Amino acid sequence: MKKILNIFVLILFFFTSFAQNLSEEIDPIQKFIEATVQIPFLAQVADVQGDVTVRISMGEDNVPVRYEIVKSLRSDCDEEALRVAKLINVKNLQERLNGKKRIAISIPFFTPEKILYDNGEVFMLFDKDKKSINDDSNTKYMARYEVDSLNGFIKNGITYYILEDKKARYLDFASLILDSFERAKLSICEKKTDDVKIYQKTAFNNHNFPVFTNSFYSNGQLENRVTADKDYFFYPNGRIQKVIEKDTSKEKDSNITFTKEFNWHANGQLFYVKTRSFSKDKELKEEKYISVWDTLGNQLVKDGSGLCTLFSDKLENAIQETGLINDGLKEGKWVGKTLENRTEFIEQYKKGKLIQGIAYTESDSVAYKNTEEMAEFKGGFNAYASFLQGNLHYPRDAQMKNVEGKVYVQFTVCTDGTLCDYKILKSVGYGCDEEALRVVKKSSGKWIPGKQRGKNARSRFTLPISYKLTGSR
């Protein structure tokens, strides 16, 4: 009997994007409503289609004093409609009213994807390629998981089945892993940042089904949700932060993919609209800004041209960077400063391409040509795969019991190239977890650290290591 260990290593990161005319009119209130509304879980189950009308009355000081439902849909949708209406930016309302004291706002509720739900459980269907589908005529696999019926949040793990002769046979169980991390969020007026805690539930599986994730803030507010053609991200206050619209129609027929992104300030004012294009290997090819507004609603960039300030929270401190946009692209000198007005970097752009950047520390400066570089194993991806192949052993206990599966190891590449913060996100057991962790730890010190604007930065990876036996049993 011969058994061979096959090791498959996959480090995934996802981007998408789409081309767009730089001249575009946007209804700020309607776009905000469509992005912010979160259709109640049981309304999605019922496949609700319709809208709620909310009447907003303004007081003497021209701010909202009363919100009333004048057209109802169902109680949970009515409650959500009131929540969204109360989050609409006041200045946008004032401009729409133009001196009037009342306005009726329509809040649409159209379920994009029907949820299969029964007795506290959600069911997912997959085709032969393990892609999620809604049509059961092409179903090859099925999954089920228990949810909280109030918000639809997953409660436990996910059980997967293969359908054979109209019968469901058990295939796999993906345990639910709870993780948390801090993320900087800009305040309404961009005067400071707040570190908010985000909790993420993840379920990894052994059979290449899509990885399930569900993230939310400590106050219970949803942090993001994903549909077939859009990714939504929310602020802790429940307002929309950004929507990434994916042009899925081009993904199969072109080597270039596109997204269009709408981003809002935390006070509900539209911030910017931009498009991105990516190569087949997910490398960012071009980023264009169509429009940019400040927190008061003043338009700084129109039809792809203007002087503006953008914000980034990728570094330890939130950065405001100011420069010129021409034909949608960064042009000339861009200066990045902290919110305390300390210069962090100066960059030179030509038609959106970074020519040269200089980042400053308290006592030194460093030049760079890329704003961000991911950490990598010395020698690259193939070298790391060879390192794992040459050092990983199949635990004898797992071999004797014919155990197969994937161990997901999370780790951080520190600023000196060593590894830290190890965590097993998905276990296989029978010694496989310990062996995977041993080999990952052995690679510590063999990494080139990542960089953000020329400065060494920590990078976090999730590494799936597959244990698979081949040969006669």
Which residue reads 């003497």 in tokens? 60
- d(CA 376, CA 99) in angstroms, rounded, equals 58
Binned average pLDDT, 10 residues per bin, the chain of 473 residues: 36 34 77 96 93 96 96 97 97 94 96 87 94 86 94 92 91 88 55 68 88 89 88 94 81 74 95 92 88 95 96 67 97 93 94 96 91 94 94 94 93 96 92 96 96 92 91 47
Determine contact, residues 51/109, Cβ cutoff 8 Å.
Answer: yes
Q: What is the dihedral of CA 438, 157, 230, 221, to 10 degrees?
A: -100
Query: Among residues 85, 84, 114, which one has the least CA distance to residue 102?
Result: 85
Which residue reads 């200045």 in tokens? 91
Close Cβ partners of 200 (under 8 Å, ≥ 6 residues apart)? 178, 179, 180, 181, 213, 214, 215, 223
Return the amino acid letter for 402.
Answer: N
The number of CA neighbours under 13 Å toward the Cβ of 172 is: 22
Close Cβ partners of 194 (under 8 Å, ≥ 6 residues apart)? 184, 185, 187
In eight-state DSSP terms, residue 305 is: B
Query: Among residues 441, 436, 442, which one has the least CA distance to residue 392?
Result: 436
Domains of the chain: 48-110 (no CATH), 116-176 (no CATH), 305-369 (no CATH), 375-470 (3.30.1150.10)
Close Cβ partners of 129 (under 8 Å, ≥ 6 residues apart)? none
- d(CA 207, CA 170) in angstroms, rounded, equals 12
Q: Write the DSSP assignment of 204-242 as a string of letters.
A: --SS-PPPEEEEEETTS-B-EEE-SSEEEEE-TTS-EEE
Determine contact, residues 395/469, Cβ cutoff 8 Å.
Answer: no
pTM beyond 0.75: the answer is yes
Close Cβ partners of 265 (under 8 Å, ≥ 6 residues apart)? 186, 188, 190, 271, 293, 295
DSSP run (H or E) holding 86:
helix 75-87
Query: Among residues 300, 288, 353, which one has the least CA distance to residue 327?
Result: 288
- d(CA 305, CA 307) in angstroms, rounded, equals 7
- d(CA 248, CA 250) in angstroms, rounded, equals 6
Query: Among residues 162, 153, 157, which one has the least CA distance to residue 174?
Result: 157
302, burial (CB in 10 Å: exposed 0-12, middle 13-18, buried 19+): middle
The number of CA neighbours under 13 Å toward the Cβ of 169 is: 6
Determine contact, residues 185/193, Cβ cutoff 8 Å.
Answer: yes
Furthest C-alpha separation in the chain: 86
With b for 16 or more beta-carbon neighbours within 10 A and e for fewer, the 112-122 pattern comes to eeebebeeeeb
